Amino acid sequence: KNSSPLYDELLNSLEDVVVSDLSWKDSIASQIISDDSELVKKLPEKLKRVFMEPARRMVPSPLPPIVRETCKEFVSDYDERQMEVLPGKLEHDKSWKEGDEILVE
């Protein structure tokens, strides 16, 4: 059997779990291993990093600089009187085909 060190460590930790002591409040009873569970807290530091790697990869990419700058400008230049004109400009066809210049508008 070919298994990873993380798998082996988690399996060894699960052998110490008394199933009859679990309640619905225990995430492990639902087959969920949370990053704040005792199982993960007891892992060696290197294996904790391996366990958390998928979560680190799910961080969304940052917005393009032009979008961030436009948002900052909007907040700085906000004028409630112009809000009547904005809804028409903010309509989107959901295709995201516009370039940076159109997105800024």
Find, among 35, 62, 64, 58, the residue nearest to 47 by Cα. Answer: 35
pLDDT at 58: 87
Q: What is the pLDDT of residue 62?
A: 83
The one-letter amino acid at 92: H
What pLDDT is stored for residue 88 in this prediction? 65
Query: Which of these, 37, 45, 35, 36, lies nearest to 14 by C-alpha position?
Result: 37
Over the stretch 51-90, which tens digit does the pLDDT of each residue have?
Answer: 999 988 888 888 889 988 998 988 887 776 666 666 666 7
